Structure 1
């Protein structure tokens, strides 16, 4: 038995220096060499030779491998997530060749990640958060050994990585939606290394807090919004990491309710009292706003403001009035917020500005006499006699109508939130005012059927002292149908009520002819005139709006605001189920504050008692402002009012130009049927013209609602963008 060229054993005899560790074991002609306590220098080639026949021999190779695999990591085992790391594995004590192949293999948590047959295995990688605490090891896998022995050749010291990373933050809340005055717990849950972090809370109310958990014992509405938690930790190299999470918390609360009583909460008998309820800042928006008198509901609505008027305050109106907003919360409960005032009646006191009636009373008291008493009694007698007989003053005559038709149209209806009170001619309603309280002055306008007269009114509609008003009076010798239409217009204006963008009916005189319709005085004139007067014949110079001795140059923002105000008024009319039918810039008036108000309800349709808006009628209408279905079929709806509003928008954009200028009404009708629409003016932005065009859709149902139009124009009015380039407008023709 030879090891290399040296004799190790001859049969069973072990040769020096191998005695003690080598032995030959023979059994039935088989000789095995056993090596005890194998050492590194025992490795090599061993040859077994038959001494009788040296050609008979066998050779075996012995590899002795020491557990000398070395594992290191470049720099350090502590890194920051995202760093690049190199792992180094060395074994210099064995030659790996084809006779005894083997590999150095890196493992990450028992999963092979790199293998090489060289004496070193340097593996580079990027470590992330999930690699924190991972165990990296390298072992020699020599194929002369069974796999079960490979682990014995692994690195003695495994590498456990400390990967530091910024906090990941998650806010946990005891409730995502809560109510004001409730309790709430917010917790900032983090995953970080190192996990010694500093917490910083910024709440929606602006407060700053520390700590992982915040207990809020009394939630306020100021906490409605985003709550943020930031967690910060420090890394081994002195740098810091941070993470943030934001939670949107919805805090629900009742609305703030305001109440206004005009002229005051202590009034004289017969005065006009206006009660306004408004609400704001509720979440969610209240679904009902109502006014009650001593727990009896007077009026309710689903809007942010409502107005209730008492025409002729009496003893039955004395009491405690409450404005109440009702909110439906997320859990199905209701919240109530209210404000109230007691309205009392005071005894009238003489005014230094004595009116006609007080003057007469003054004379009666201080200058009593039979002649004066006789005159007063005679006047009372003849007035009463005229009323009882149903006669009219001077040149007026009784309406020549059928009995049922007369009864229908001579009933003047006062509608207040769905209630109707019918009054016969000759009876006085709360809207009626004595003619003696009016002083008619100059005529402002003279129409085909009525004239408009400026007048001074005494103590009208709850206004103390003298007020400027406009009185609409039918012309002399009107037709019966004109009288009926006039009364119907008064009736409709009563039912409409008040709105900031609707000309209000103050009072009326309908006990006998001539009938008076008394409205608020609009100093600014009509919108069409304002637009036309504010540009010169060349369209390059602009004059000022002169109202109440104040000059104002119209801007693009002013024009868009006009459009928004008209739309807001029409939105209100639609909510009152009223179809105007005659909307045009000429029928929009401006007050002293340059606020647009819609007027001329002579052709309007009140449809309070009808399930549908459609009405067919014969009337004095203008083709250029009418919708397709109105021209073709005589059908008028709120959607046809939307079409007319689109024409008003076009009038505003063009500063009062005539719609379809240069075309006859017959040409307008045929062109519309063929799909023609007035083109975009060059000085008008596409967004605004697109809104105009949407009003002229052939299909009424595809036209926007007035609510949608009001929202669109409100947004434009709030923008800084110039939607109408006024200085680029061309010349105008009023023909």
Structure 2
């Protein structure tokens, strides 16, 4: 073994499993205390992801997906804006994926709770704070693209908020090293995040780095609106028809023209016309360094796509 190399394999008896954090359709995440994990002395609070499905056939598939996610995170966890894998239990069931614990939870809930708690429209966050969240997400996604990984399920609920309000990409259950995976689409067709999906993903089952950019545009909308979800009044078939007809997300309140144009650029019909994550990062940094009133000012003359 190379000096300093981390050993990810962990044992169940060194974990004290606590309360549920999130229970999803296929997986659940729980709090836990881990003894001597990731080279640290004593105990560390962690999060554990595990299969949550009583159907044995489907559970076996999900177990395989979880093992793939563990393998993927082993090579991605060195990035500051990707959730860090601390360990895993794979030699006996149940399989556990063990990550660092996010004290502020997911970005979607974090934003909406702060908005509700505040009496003013910005929910206590300045536009520069919101842009810093977006920059963190873009950095994480740029890193994924550089490592040839397609996330395919990017949404604010799959971004976790850590100490210092640092945002990190999570939710890698359906991430892939390949461009298209029809098994992913078929297994999850009844619960696909269609409001976040690119038009070509919805109509042709194509998942690419460019479709991740489309999803990022929706996340950017979620951040600027502090938790709103676009197209809430539309069902999947209605949305596909509307997107084909050119409809895109409405301009949020208190969103400047350049920022709204950035959101729209992510959802261009031709995937090749969308910006890369590196280009988006530059734009967001430029906006973050601009005068605040320039960013916040809403251009009422700007035509919205509704």
Partner of 2:270: 699
Aligned to 2:60: 480
Give the Cα–Cα distance (whole angstroms) in 1 for the partners of residues 3 and 233 of structure 2: 50
Equivalent of residue 632 in structure 1, options 196, 203, 216: 203
Ranges in structure 1 where 5+ consecutive residues have no aligned partner: 1-269, 274-309, 312-429, 544-552, 608-612, 727-735
Query: What's 2:43 paired with?
Result: 466
Cα deviation for residue 721 of structure 1 reads 2.3
User: 2:38 and 2:276 mapped to 1: Cα distance?
Assistant: 33
Distance 1:700 1:541 in 2: 34
Q: CA separation in 2, counterparts of 1:503 and 1:272? A: 24
SS in 1 for 2:116: coil
CA distance in 2: counterparts of 1:475 and 1:660, whole angstroms = 29
CA contact (8 A) 1:564 1:717 kept: no
Unpaired runs of 5+ residues, structure 2, are 299-306
Query: Which of 130, 153, 159 lines up with 1:582 in the alignment?
Result: 153
Query: Residue in 1 aligned with 2:75?
Result: 495
Query: How many pairs does the alignment contain?
Result: 289
Shift of 1:438: 1.2
Q: Provide the residue aligned with 1:282 in structure 2.
A: none
Contact (CA 8 Å) 2:50, 2:94: kept in 1 or not?
A: yes
Q: Which of 1 and 2 has greater Rg?
A: 1
**Residue of structure 1 in register with 2:223 after alignment:** 652
1:406-417 matched pairs, under 5 angstroms: none
Q: CA deviation at 1:538?
A: 9.7
Structure 1 Cα separation of the partners of residues 142 and 226 of structure 2? 23
Q: Is the 8 A contact 1:623 1:665 kept in 2?
A: yes
- Matching residue of 1:176: none
Q: What's the counterpart of residue 675 of structure 1? A: 246
Greater strand share, structure number? 1
In the alignment, which of 491, 509, 516 is matched to residue 89 of structure 2? 509
1:450: which partner in 2? Answer: 27
Q: Corresponding residue for 1:439?
A: 16
Higher helix share: 2
- CA gap 1:538/1:673 in 2 versus in 1, 3 angstroms: farther
1:485 CA drift (Å): 1.4
Q: Which residue of 1 aligns with 2:257?
A: 686
Please identify runs of 4+ aligned residues in structure 1 that moved more than 3 A.
270-273, 536-543, 613-617
Structure 1 residue 453 displacement after superposition: 1.2
Instruction: Find the residue that maps to 1:635 and give its secondary structure.
Output: coil
CA contact (8 A) 2:9 2:88 kept: yes
CA-to-aligned-CA distance 1:232-289 (integer Å, 9 cap, x gap): xxxxxxxxxxxxxxxxxxxxxxxxxxxxxxxxxxxxxx8983xxxxxxxxxxxxxxxx
* Partner Cα distance (2:115, 2:126) in 1: 12
Structure with higher RCO (Cα < 8 A, 6+ apart): 2
Cα 1:496–1:537 change in 2 (3 A) is closer
Equivalence for 2:237 = 666
Q: Secondary structure at the match of 1:651?
A: helix
1:182-204 deviations in Å (ceiling 9; x for gaps): xxxxxxxxxxxxxxxxxxxxxxx
Kindly provide the CA deviation profile for residues 40-93 of structure 1, in whole angstroms up to 9, marking residues without a partner as x: xxxxxxxxxxxxxxxxxxxxxxxxxxxxxxxxxxxxxxxxxxxxxxxxxxxxxx
State the TM-score, normalizing by the size of structure 2.
0.88
Q: Secondary structure at the match of 2:71?
A: helix
Partner of residue 597, structure 1: 168
Q: 1:725 to 1:510 in 2, by over 3 A?
A: farther
What is the alpha-carbon distance in structure 2 between the residues aligned to residue 624 and residue 670 of structure 1? 13
Q: How far 1:580 moved relative to its partner?
A: 0.3
